[in-house]
Amino acid sequence: MKKGQLLNSRISAVISEMGHTDTIVIADAGLPIPASAERIDLALTTGVPDFITTLLNVLSELQVEKITVAEEIIKANHTVWDMITAVVKKTAKTQGKPVETAMVSHERFKEMTKNAKAVIRTGECTPYANIILHSGVVF
């Protein structure tokens, strides 16, 4: 059995296959998932699993150099935005490297998901609880 925090085999496999600047998306239950991206559907019911728990687990295995979020999150979902900010700050400290934050319109965000290796759908049902994680390198 795998030893570590992240037990989902498909997410672990996608992370292991990622190269520098490849992207993976963690999405709320409503984000449209493009046919070009692998869908990893974790949603069980409203709020399960939640966005932040999923983000924390993915970050336990993925080296991240940049995140992209929809700029609308600041006004529409300040609670999740504050949690993302705290998690990213902790991740940068743990990695020993900065994590850049980019903000784009929600429409641009949805376009960017077409280039993702995978989209992880959570049960999160709050607005704009979506993030694109851009893979970094460990050296």
Cα→Cα distances 118→44, 58, 96, 105, 126, Å: 18, 12, 26, 20, 21
Q: Is 28 annotated as a binding residue?
A: yes
Catalytic residue among 5, 13, 20, 89: 20
Instruction: Quickly list H helices, the chain.
Output: 9-17, 51-59, 73-76, 78-95, 106-112
Q: Indicate the pairing of strand 64-70 with strand 131-135.
A: antiparallel
Q: Is 106 annotated as a binding residue?
A: yes
Q: Is 115 annotated as a binding residue?
A: no
Q: Is 128 annotated as a binding residue?
A: yes
Active site residue 20: yes
Q: Is 130 annotated as a binding residue?
A: yes
Residue 79 CB burial class (10 angstroms; 0-12, 13-18, ≥19): exposed
Please list the active-site residues: 20
From the annotation, which residues make up the binding site for substrate?
A: 28, 106, 128-130
Binding residues are 28, 106, 128-130
